[in-house]
Chain A
């Protein structure tokens, strides 16, 4: 085979063909962009700008004077001070992580149970839905603070002190305290479930009832229907609620870290202020992000059996295709080898 022939055998590179948009397409594209511009402006002003600004703040010591803000560049100095010298931030952060890991599943499971009950055919359904949604409207920051101040956040029948003591005897104090706090604030935690109940309710109402009918014909019990139909169907909503609840708890006025950040922001001390608070907020947001990732990850890793089967079948098909290709290449190589041998023999 000559060199020329080799070159010719390579597939030709396809030439890009530019097709000019018609006027209708141009108009549609323009309309699309016009609709997107408000989002871009909003994202730039209310997302990108505050994010960049707060990061810049985190790298500085800032004084808010009547003549304007003064910046002293510290680099990562604020972060170092928070992690190495701040005696409150890290313990509060550990408390927050442990209590969030406990309270988020409690809220989501409670919301799911209530949503399922409210989805039944019961009298005064609307009234009960109103009752469970009311805390969302009423329990805003200051009111919740006042209620907690009057011990309305804990269940009086629950001997939280005994529970805390029992936990403290088994677990180290750093873990026992946040767990005890969850029991002490059980009512408050359950009040946080109003929006989640609504999300679950809408998901439950969208499940096709014929699936339950078919399952029952096949002899499935309510218990089996819940695990095989209800739960897999509303799984995306569970992930949504886990993420929502984590973000809600993390940004709540009652959150100790938020209180700490706010206190640092308006602190009179020269080491703190806007820059220090911004650095705290960045560290905190990373932790919140990890928690959200953890909750979402736990739910997304566990695929349902049908999806797993489909994926396996797809993987097998790909594997077969690869084997087929390999076989064809081998055939082609063998064919060439035999052709050479034949040529030599003839010569």
Chain B
């Protein structure tokens, strides 16, 4: 019996060792074959929409899998339309909510079921696991990529500061500062121009603070979804192309610290409305609106709100809210630039942009790129999206029209798309409001995404340094000044970024950095370690 037991254990060990050795990386997909990307197209008309069908795609019957955390019904509709345009390509969509997207995707990859095209929720996750392949040949041959929001190419969004392109913008949500004009009128505050400056915004926030003397309920200057430090960090200079003062190679948290301190001072000064879901602010919220679950956005007592883009169509522009809160008059403003000169023109402003790419094991990268483009920035994809958003009979699983389910904005500058989008978006608005929205949309085409989707090492830095010491909490409580952290935080950010660049793109990674770049990042890493 003992012999049998020993034999079984030996077998199990041998089995496991063999299994472990089998885990070694297999050969990557053969992407060295000559890339066929001519950019030639032919017209196909489906459902009254004219599509430009790429003619350099395979004629073989293939299957592509698209993994996403976009609005599922929309993606399924787009996939069906793509299959109508390219009947030889079968598209399988796999949806996972963004919160669990990384877990599911990595599980699929570990099981050898890597999708062909994916959305990514943070850059470090995708780069660390070498999920993305270089799609520069397709991107460079594609004329549409030259007609996107300026920063996509100018700030190298999706290239991660290399000479290659690994990701494309999939969903674009410009950030906005919403103003409730009814509050301005009640408090007799001048309504700002669209090209306002940062200081003007701060002055409005301060001047809108009132106790209950007006109508028995206090007024606040600011309600926030996005903290002002993230907004200020980008708005402070046109040289900044990423969070924390990132200039393309190094960070400088000095500017961020100014915005962080300004925001914390506003909070400590009582200019910021209490938030629901924050335990420390529950009492203040109950005293103010009589309910700990009340939302400042419906109070009619907050002048400016740093809201997410989707809040307007998901909430404020729904029939229910318009009926129950008729006094609200919400209009959008672009995040103001700090300098008056920058404010007069279209300037950098932070935005929520989700990226996607073609996976490194994909056997049909040309076709996967076309699918990814159709799902994201492509004009043809947007024509189909507009067909969906314009018809409120297309609803999600909860019966809500797709227009009101976190609809993104086009990142293409194609005028035809934008005209149709603004028409659809502003349906039912008066001329003044249509003009305000049109002005707003014209001012948001210099988006800078949050750091975790565009900068290598950013999320590792946040995970291992910034969030772990709780800088926001310390500054918000008044325990520390933001400037106290700026130097060390800058040093750490530079270190993590340099380490990540070498790790992901250096000689031991994808090996796409030049010798000079490698030396620069090694020096940066050494200087900040």
A residues with a Cβ closer than 8 A to B are: 33, 40, 43-45, 48-49, 52-53, 56, 63-71, 87-88, 262, 265-271, 273
342-371 of chain B: CB within 8 A of chain A: 359-361
Query: Closest chain A residue to B468 by CB distance?
Result: A87
Q: What are 9 A-B residue pairs whose CB atoms fall within 8 Å in the complex?
A: A43-B12, A44-B8, A44-B12, A49-B15, A52-B13, A52-B16, A70-B25, A270-B124, A270-B500
- The stretch from B219-227, B230-238, B317-325, B457-465 touching chain A is B457-465
Bound form: Cα–Cα A267–B129 in Å: 10
Q: Are A68 and B24 in contact (CB under 8 A)?
A: yes
B128 & A268 in contact (Cβ 8 Å cutoff)? yes
Cβ contact of A68, chosen from B16, B25, B503, cutoff 8 A: B25
- Smallest Cβ-Cβ distance to A55: which chain B residue: B16
Given contacts A67-B28, A71-B23, 5 further A-B contacts (CB under 8 A): A44-B8, A49-B16, A69-B24, A268-B460, A270-B124
Counting CB contacts under 8 A, is B154 at the interface?
no
In the bound complex, residues from chain A placing their C-beta under 8 Å from that of B28 are: 66-67
Interfacial chain B residues near A71, Cβ < 8 Å: 23-24
Pair A53/B25 contact, Cβ less than 8 Å: no
A331 CB → nearest B CB, Å? 43
- Minimum CB–CB distance for B270 against chain A, Å: 24
Q: Which of B19, B129, B503 contacts A65 (CB 8 A)?
A: B129
CB distance from B370 to the nearest CB of A (A): 20
Q: How far is the CA of A53 from the CA of B110 in the complex (A)?
A: 14
- B468→A88 contact, CB < 8 A: yes
- Chain B 14-39 residues near chain A, CB threshold 8 A: 15-17, 19-20, 23-29
Determine the distance from Cα of A71 to Cα of B122 in the docked complex, in whole angstroms: 22
Flag if A268 contacts B360 (CB, 8 Å).
no
Point out residues on B near A: beta carbons under 8 Å: 4-5, 8-9, 11-13, 15-17, 19-20, 23-29, 102-103, 106, 109-110, 114, 122-126, 128-131, 359-361, 459-460, 463-464, 468, 499-500, 503
- Docked-complex contact A69 and B16, CB < 8 angstroms: no
The listed residue with most A CB atoms (<10 A of its CB), out of B4, B23, B130, is B23
B345 to chain A, nearest CB (A): 36
Max chain A Cβ within 10 angstroms of own Cβ: one of B4, B11, B12, B27: B12
Given known contacts A66-B360, A269-B460, is B110 in contact with A48 (CB within 8 Å)?
A: no
Whether the Cβ atoms of A66 and B359 lie closer than 8 Å is yes
Closest Cβ of chain A: how far from B27's Cβ, in Å?
Answer: 7
Contact of B124 among A45, A53, A269 (CB under 8 A): A269
Q: Are B26 and A44 in contact (CB under 8 A)?
A: no
CA distance A65 to B24 in the complex (A): 10
B460 near A271 with CB under 8 A, answer: yes
Distance, CA A266 to CA B109, complexed state (A): 12
| Chain A residues positioned under 8 Å from B359 (CB to CB) | 66
* B25:A49 contact, CB within 8 angstroms: no
Q: Which residue of B lies closest to A272 (CB)?
A: B463
Interface of A is mostly: mixed
Cβ contacts under 8 Å, A69 to chain B: 23-25, 110
Q: How far is the CA of A44 from the CA of B4 in the complex (A)?
A: 13
- B118 (CB) vs chain A CBs: closest residue: A66
Shortest Cβ distance from B104 into chain A, in angstroms?
Answer: 9
A265 to B103 alpha-carbon distance, docked (Å)? 8
Query: Known contacts A49-B19, A268-B459, A269-B460: does B130 contact A66 (CB below 8 Å)?
Result: yes
With the chains together, A56 CA to B131 CA distance in Å?
Answer: 24
- List A contacts of B17 (CB < 8 A): 52
Specify which chain B residues have a CB less than 8 angstroms from the CB of A52 in the assembled complex.
12-13, 16-17
Q: Is the CB of A262 within 8 A of B129?
A: no
Are B23 and A268 in contact, with the CB atoms below 8 A?
Answer: no
The distance in angstroms between the C-alpha atoms of A65 and B25, with both chains bound, is 8
Inter-subunit contact A48/B131 (CB<8 Å): no
Residues from chain B with Cβ under 8 Å of A265 in the complex: 103
Q: Which residue of B lies closest to A273 (CB)?
A: B128
Question: Given A48-B9, A87-B468, A269-B128, is A64 in contact with B16 using a C-beta cutoff of 8 Å?
Answer: no
- Supposing A48-B9, A266-B106 touch, asked if A66 and B361 sit within 8 A by C-beta, the answer is yes
| Bound complex: CA A127 to CA B220 (Å) | 54
B148, chain A: closest CB distance, angstroms: 26
Q: Which residue of B lies closest to A70 (CB)?
A: B25
Q: Is the CB of A270 within 8 A of B15?
A: no
B133 to chain A minimum Cβ distance, whole angstroms, is 9
Please name all residues of chain B whose beta carbon is closer than 8 Å to the beta carbon of A273 when the two chains form the complex.
128
Q: How far is the CB of B17 from chain A (nearest CB, A)?
A: 8
Q: Is the CB of B114 within 8 A of A48?
A: no
Find out whether the CB atom of B12 lies under 8 angstroms from the CB atom of A49: yes
Interchain CB contact under 8 A, B12 and A67: no
Closest to A36 in B: B4
**Is the beta-carbon distance between B124 and A64 smaller than 8 angstroms?**
no
Q: Which B residue's beta carbon lies closest to that of A72?
A: B508
Which residues of the other chain, B, contact A88 by a CB distance below 8 angstroms?
468
A48 in contact with B128 given A268-B122, A269-B459 (CB within 8 Å) = no
Asked whether A48 lies within 8 Å of B109 as measured between CB atoms, the reply is: no
Q: Are B109 and A65 in contact (CB under 8 A)?
A: yes
Output the least CB separation between A148 and chain B (Å): 14
The residue on A at minimum CB distance from B120 is A268
Q: Given contacts A64-B129, A270-B460, is CB(A40)–CB(B8) below 8 Å?
A: yes
Which residue of chain B is the closest to A69 with respect to CB atoms? B23
Determine if A56 and B20 form an interchain contact, defined as CB atoms under 8 angstroms apart: yes
Instruction: Judge whether A44 and B15 touch: CB under 8 Å.
Output: yes
Expressed in whole angstroms, the minimum distance between the Cβ of B300 and any Cβ of chain A is 28
